[in-house]
Chains A and B, each alone.
Chain A
Amino acid sequence: MTDKTEHISAEKAQHVPVPGAAGLRRDVTVWGSYMWGYADVGADIYAALGLVIAATQGGAVAAFALAGIVYIMIGLAYTELAAAYPVAGGGQYFSLRGLGDFWGFVCGSALLLDYTIDIALFTVASAGYINFFFPVLKTTTVDFGPFRNVAIVWCIEAIIMTLILIWLNMRGMRESSLVNEILGAIDIISESGIIIFGFIFAWQPDLLASQWQWQVAHWDWRQFMYGSSLAIISFVGLESISQAAQETRRPATIVPRTSIALIFTVFIFAISFSTLSLGILPWKEFVGHEGDPIAMLVNRVPYIGMVAGPFTALLGATILFISANSGVMSASRLTFSMSQFHFISPWFDKVHPKYRTPVRTIAIFSSIGIVQIALAFLFGQDAAMEILGNMYAFGATLGYSLVFVALIRLRFRDPYTPRPYKMPLNLRIRYHGREIDLPILGFIGTAGVLFVFAEVVITHDIGRIAGPTWVILCFLYYAWYRKSKQLPIIKNIKRDWEADQKAVLLSAEEFELLEHYKLALAERDRLLKKQAGHDAKENGRKF
C-alpha cells in the first residue's frame, strides 16, 4: 500500500494535537479503569439477552459463544492498541494512524452511529426495566395510520429519559468514576449472586439440552446468523478501554491488566446468562420480554426471586441509563477528536459560555437518538429494540473490522512505538530489514469480525440499508467540509505522529517506554543515514 499523504501548505500542515492529551487528567486507578469498562460493556447483556434468545431460540448459547469468541479477539486488539496509543479517540484514532484519514473518518462515522444508537437503545431498554414494575405501560399501544401496535407510553418514556440526559449533560454533569465503581461493583455482586443461586437451585441441564435438540431439529441458518450477529451487541463498548487509557496514569501497565480481566468477565457473564436462561425457562417465555429479560429470569429463581427480581429490574434500569449517558459523552469526545483531525468542523465543539459543555454536539447527536427511538417504535411494540439492535450491530462490526486492519498495518507501518501488550500468536518475519511480529490472531480476528459483518449485511433488513446510508451521508458532509477548507478528501493531511506519540507517552508518565521509543527512532534514523550514504557511494561509482 502506498502512503497517500498530501503535502499541503504550512498553515494546514500544522502539527495536529492529540485530542484530549492536554485536557484530561490522568487519575483513574486500576479498579476505576476496570469498572469504567464494566459499567459500559457489562450493561449490554441486560439489553441483548431477550433479543438474542427471541432470535436464536434454543441456539442462544451457541450464538453468544460465537459472538463472544470474536469479541475476545476484538478486545485483545483494543488492549494492544490502547496500551500503545493511550488516547481517547479509540477506533477512529487507531484507523487514522494505521489506514489514513479516509478510513479513520469512516471508522469514526460508524462509531458515531453506534453512540447515537447507544443513546436510543439503552434508554429504551432502561425504560423497559422500569416497566417491569408497571407492565401496563409496556402494553399500552395505539395505531398511527399504517403503523400498528405502537407502544406509545414506552416510546415517550424513552424520549423523556433522553431529554433528561441532554439536560444533565448540557448542565455539565460528569460521569463520576466513583459512581461507576459503586454501581459496577453492585452489578458484579448481583450478577454473580444470580448466577450462583440460579445454577444451584433452578438450573435444569435436561431443559437446556432438550431446547438445543429441538433447535437442531428445526435449524434455520439465516435465523442463527441473525441472532449471532445480534449477540455482538452484548459486547459493544470496548471503546471505553481506550477512553479509560486516556485518563489512566501509567496506562501501559494498567490497561492490559484491567482490560483482559474485563473482557473475560463480560464473556463469562454473557455465556452464563444464556445458559442459565435456557436451563430455567423455555425460550418462548422470553418472547415479548425483550425489554426486561434478566428481571423476568431472576424473578423465577427460587428463594431469591421475589426480592432479586425487582432489585435486578431497578439495577438494570439504572445501569442502562448510565450506559446511555456514556453514549452522549462518548459522542462528544469522538466529535471533538474528529474535529481535531479536520474530519468535521470545529463548529461542533462550541462550548456553552456558562456551563462549558459542548452543547451543539450533545443536542445534535442526542436528538438523532430521539429520532431513532421514534422511528423504531413505529414498527410495532416488540420490534423497537430489535431494530435499534440491528443498526447497533452494523456500526460496531464496521468499526471493529477497520480497527483490526489498522492493527495489522500498524505492526508494519509503526514498529517503533513500544507495545507493552501484544495480541498472542505472532510470527516473526523480516520486513524492510527489520523484524516484525505478524499477528496471526489479528488475521483470524479480522476474518471473524468480517464474518459477523457479513451476517449483519445478509440478515439485518434495516441495518444493511440504514447503516450504509448513515456512512454515506457522513461522507458527503466530510467531502464538502474538506473541500471547503481546501483539504484533501481521500489523501492524508501531513501530521507529525512521532512528536504526538512522544507527547502522549510523556503525559502518561510512561518514561521508560518514551526512552525505548526514542531509541527505536534513533536506530531507524541511523540505518536510514547509513543506507543513504551507501546509495550515494553506489551512484558515485556509476557516474
Chain B
Amino acid sequence: MLKLSKRNYFEIATSFLFFVLGLVIFIRSLRETGFILGMGVGVAFVAYGVFRLRYIWRFFISRGQKS
C-alpha cells in the first residue's frame, strides 16, 4: 500500500481541479459566446489536468514497482 504525503494529496487535488475548471471554462465559452480562444483555454486546462494526473499516476506506478 502506497503512503501519500500531504504534498501528493495537494498535487492530486489541484490537478483534478484544473481538469474540472477546464471543463467549466470550455462549456461556458461554448454556450455563452462560442469564442474559440476561451474554448482553447478550457482545452488547455483539461490537457494540463490530464498531464499532471498522468504524471502522478506514472510516478506512483514506478514507486509501487520499486517497493
Contacts and interface: CB of A to CB of B under 8 A. Distances in A.
A268 B35 contact: no
A275 interface: yes
A75 to B, nearest CB: 14
The winner among A31, A275, A279 for most chain B CB atoms within 10 A is A275
B44 interface: yes
Given A199-B21, A205-B32, A206-B33, A268 B45 contact: yes
Contacts of A486: none
B29 A205 contact: yes
Given A205-B29, A264-B48, A268-B44, A62 B37 contact: yes
A419 B18 CA distance: 32
Nearest to B51: A264
A187 to B, nearest CB: 13
Contact of B38 (A205, A264, A268): A205
Interface in B38-53: 38, 40-41, 44-45, 48, 51-52
Given A268-B44, A268-B45, A271-B44, A199 B25 contact: yes
A370 to B, nearest CB: 39
Nearest to B10: A189
A61 B33 contact: no
A200 interface: yes
B12 interface: no
Contacts of A195: 21
Contacts of A209: 29, 33, 35, 38
Contacts of B51: 264
Given A268-B44, A268-B45, A271-B41, A199 B24 contact: yes
Contacts of A65: 37, 40
A313 interface: no
A195 B7 CA distance: 20
Contacts of A261: 52, 55
A268 B48 contact: yes
A206 B45 contact: no
A471 interface: no
Contacts of A268: 18, 44-45, 48
B37 A208 contact: yes
Contacts of A469: none
Given A192-B14, A205-B32, A206-B32, A275 B37 contact: yes
Contact of A272 (B14, B28, B41): B41
A131 B64 CA distance: 50
B17 interface: yes
Interface in A177-217: 189, 192, 195-196, 199-200, 203, 205-206, 208-209, 212
Nearest to A274: B41
Contacts of B40: 65
A212 B48 contact: no
A200 B7 CA distance: 24
A208 B39 CA distance: 11
B38 A208 contact: yes
Given A209-B33, A275-B38, A192 B44 contact: no
B35 A205 contact: yes
Contacts of B21: 195-196, 199-200
A196 B13 CA distance: 12
A268 B51 CA distance: 12
A192 B18 CA distance: 9
Contacts of B7: 31
A235 to B, nearest CB: 15
B44 A208 contact: no
A233 to B, nearest CB: 21
B23 to A, nearest CB: 11
A224 to B, nearest CB: 14
A271 B37 CA distance: 10
Contact of A205 (B28, B45, B55): B28
Contacts of A212: 35, 37
B7 to A, nearest CB: 8
Interface in B4-24: 7, 10, 14, 17-18, 21, 24
A61 B41 contact: yes
B20 to A, nearest CB: 9
Contacts of A275: 25, 37-38, 41
The winner among A195, A205, A209 for most chain B CB atoms within 10 A is A205
A195 B49 CA distance: 14
Contacts of B32: 205-206
Contacts of A203: 25, 28
A61 B37 CA distance: 8
A478 B39 CA distance: 51
B56 to A, nearest CB: 10
B3 to A, nearest CB: 17
A379 B14 CA distance: 43
B53 to A, nearest CB: 13
14 contacts: A189-B10, A192-B14, A192-B18, A195-B21, A196-B17, A205-B28, A205-B29, A205-B38, A209-B29, A212-B35, A268-B45, A271-B44, A272-B45, A279-B38
Given A61-B41, A209-B38, 15 more contacts: A31-B7, A61-B37, A65-B37, A192-B17, A192-B18, A200-B24, A205-B28, A205-B29, A206-B33, A208-B33, A208-B37, A268-B18, A268-B48, A272-B45, A275-B37
Interface of A: 31, 61-62, 65, 189, 192, 195-196, 199-200, 203, 205-206, 208-209, 212, 261, 264, 268, 271-272, 275, 279
